[in-house]
Amino acid sequence: MQKIVIDTNVFVSALIQRGYPYLIVNELFIEGKIQLCISYDMLKEYVDVLHRKRFTKYPDFVNKAELLLADIETKALKFSPKIKLAILADKDDNKVLELAHESKADFIITGNSNDFTMKKYKRTKIVTPKDYWEKFKP
């Protein structure tokens, strides 16, 4: 089974609209077709971001976010990265690479092409939700 690190922006998009992020989260992660990898830092970021007040303007966002967070907590593989990286300009995004390194993830899925400018980190491919869905989904 593919091991995947999903950047927070993909979860936000999945809860707002029915595009590629929605398909990845609902048809692959929730259905158990991919293995989501998380760390304490990533989970904390998911919780913090998904509870931002600005997202309450979207219908049923809060309820859907709570259900998603519960699924993440119970279904994801948990890792504790042992390395600290300083590769990306946005220092907060380095935790995504640290998790990918520790979990030996096959993919990082992110909508953040401004900070994730590389196509690969070690063995992990870095792809957009669209590229993942169209080229790599199981």
Strands of the 35-39 sheet, one edge to the other: 77-79, 35-39, 3-6, 107-109, 124-127, 120-121
Q: What are the tens digits of pLDDT across the range 8-56?
A: 999 999 999 999 999 999 999 999 999 999 999 999 999 999 999 999 9
Q: Is 3-136 CATH 3.40.50.1010? A: yes
Residues 116-133, mean pLDDT to the nearest whole number:
96
Q: Please, are residues 104 and 3 in contact by the beta-carbon 8 Å criterion?
A: yes
What are the tens digits of pLDDT across the range 76-120? Answer: 999 999 999 999 888 899 999 999 999 999 999 999 988 899 999
Residue 89: partners with Cβ closer than 8 Å, 6 or more residues away: 115
Query: What pLDDT, on the 0 to 100 scale, is given for residue 59?
Result: 87
* Residue-level pLDDT at 90: 86
| Residue 32: C-alpha distances to residues 85, 124, 133 (Å) | 30, 20, 15
Kindly list the domain boundaries of the chain, sorted by start residue: 3-136
pTM of the model: 0.96
